[in-house]
């Protein structure tokens, strides 16, 4: 995997907080920033996926099919076997 350099502008207070944190935790600022970007992108992708799923379930036909499937699962489940 290759690496690329970027330049960003952030408030001084945020930079000072980052420097203090990375110094205390003995990690590089670039590592902290990369982790933060990875986390943010993961959250965005998860939110988009949830939106897509919700869009599918807005369709009354799909909702009805899912309710029927859930009812069939419940009807065939032995609740005595469940761990809770």
Q: Let me know how many helices (H) and strands (E) the chain has, helices first.
A: 3, 0
In angstroms, the CA 78 to CA 84 distance is 12
- Reported as a single tens digit per residue, the pLDDT across 72-84 is 888 887 766 666 6
**Closest Cα to residue 57, out of 45, 75, 69, 41?**
69
pTM score:
0.64
Q: Is the C-alpha dihedral spanning 34, 36, 42, 44 positive or negative?
A: negative
Residue 32 Cα distances to 3, 15, 26, angstroms: 15, 12, 11
Q: What is the mean pLDDT of the chain?
A: 90
């Amino acid at each position: 995997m290759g690496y690329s350099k970027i330049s960003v502008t952030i408030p001084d207070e945020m930079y000072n907080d980052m420097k203090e944190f990375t110094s205390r935790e003995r990690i590089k600022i670039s590592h902290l920033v990369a982790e933060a970007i990875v986390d943010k992108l993961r959250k965005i992708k998860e939110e988009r996926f949830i939106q897509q799923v919700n869009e599918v379930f807005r369709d009354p036909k799909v909702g009805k099919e899912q309710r029927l499937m859930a009812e069939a699962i419940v009807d065939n489940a032995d609740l005595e076997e469940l761990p809770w």
